[in-house]
Amino acid sequence: MAARGTITRLIRSHDHIYILRDDGYELFFLREKLRGTHYELLRERRHVEFEVSRKTGRAREVKVRLTGKKG
């Protein structure tokens, strides 16, 4: 099951994405790890569903799906 959260910050000059999960924890990842949607469609305060897949070491991919809610 996908987790839910809200995009809290996009630092486009560094390709950083921050999502505040509904459980209160913040997730940080880089644009290069984004899957499932286009970076250009992301906006702060947008509600999303996401799944984090862990690979060897610290590398991970984050599959993000925009939901219908806009903050």
Query: Which tens digits make up the pLDDT trace of 28-62?
Result: 999 999 999 999 999 999 999 999 887 665 657 89
pLDDT of residue 13: 95
pLDDT of residue 68: 73
What does pTM read for this prediction? 0.85
Contact 8, 20 (CB under 8 A): yes
CATH code, 3-70? 2.40.50.140
| C-alpha triplet 41, 13, 2: angle, nearest 5° | 40
User: Would you kindly state where each structural domain of the chain is located, as residue ranges?
Assistant: 3-70
- In 3D space, the residue among 50, 49, 53, 55 whose CA is nearest the CA of residue 68 turns out to be 49
pLDDT, tens digit, for every residue of 3-37? 999 999 999 999 999 999 999 999 999 999 999 99
Residues 6+ apart with CB under 8 A from 52: 3, 27, 60, 61, 62, 63
